[in-house]
Chain A
Amino acid sequence: MTYPGRRGAPVIDVADLRVRLRTRRGSAQVVNGLSYQVHPGETVAVVGESGSGKSVSVLALLGLLPERISQVEGCATFDGQDLLSLDEEALRRVRGAGIGMVFQDPMTSLNPVLTVGRQLVEGIRAHARIGVPAARTRAADLLGEVGLPDARRALDRYPHELSGGMRQRVMIAIALSSEPALLVADEATTALDVTVQAQILELVSRLQADRGTGVIWITHDLGVVAGIADRVLVMYGGRCIEDGDVDDVFYRPAHPYTRGLLGALPRTDEPDDKPGGGTPGELVTIPGTPPSPTDLPPGCVFWPRCPVRADPRCETEVPPLVPVHEPAGTPAGVQHHAATFCPPDAVQGGAS
Chain B
Amino acid sequence: MTAQPAPVTDQVLVAARDLQVHFPFRSGGLLRRRTGQVRAVDGVDLDIGRGETLGLVGESGCGKSTLGNALLRLVEPTSGSVTFDGTDVTSLSAKDMRALRRRAVMVFQDPFASLDPRRTVAQTVSEPLEVHRLHVGKTARARRIGELLELVGLDPAVVDRYPHEFSGGQRQRIGIARALAGEPDFVVCDEAIASLDVSVQAQVVNLLRRLQRELGLTYLFISHDVAAVRHVSDRIAVMYLGRLVEVGPASQVARDPQHPYTQALLSAVPVPEPERERRRERVVLTGDVPSPAAVPSGCRFHTRCPRAFEPCPDVDPALQAVGSVGSGQQAACHLHGIVPVSGDRDP
Contacts and interface: CB of A to CB of B under 8 A. Distances in A.
Nearest to B225: A266
B232 A277 contact: no
Contacts, number: 157
Contacts of A145: none
B266 A268 contact: yes
Contacts of B230: 266-268, 270, 279
A280 B226 CA distance: 14
Interface stretch (A89-97, A191-199, A322-330): A191-199
Interface string B1-19: 0000000100000000000
Bin the interface of chain A by size: 35 or more
A221 B201 CA distance: 13
Interface string B220-250: 0000111110111111000000000000111
A261 B270 contact: no
A285 B169 CA distance: 12
Contacts of A260: 199
A158 B72 CA distance: 38
A245 to B, nearest CB: 9
A87 to B, nearest CB: 37
A285 B231 CA distance: 14
Contacts of A149: 287
Contacts of B200: 289
B123 interface: no
B206 A268 contact: no
B120 interface: no
Nearest to B272: A222
Most chain A CB atoms below 10 A, which of B199, B232, B264: B199
B75 interface: no
Interface string B49-80: 00001000001100000000000000000000
A202 B284 contact: yes
Contacts of A247: 274-275
Interface residues of B: mostly helix, strand, loop or mixed?
A: helix
Interface in A285-330: 285-287, 289-290
Contact of A285 (B206, B233, B275, B285): B206
Most chain A CB atoms below 10 A, which of B203, B251, B272, B289: B272
Contact of A226 (B59, B252, B274): B274
A273 B187 CA distance: 24
A251 B287 CA distance: 35
B284 A198 contact: yes
Interface of B: 8, 53, 59-60, 167-170, 197-203, 205-206, 209, 224-228, 230-235, 248-252, 254, 264-277, 282, 284-285, 287-289, 328
16 contacts: A50-B197, A165-B288, A195-B264, A195-B268, A199-B285, A223-B269, A223-B272, A226-B277, A227-B277, A247-B274, A261-B199, A266-B228, A269-B254, A282-B209, A285-B203, A351-B272
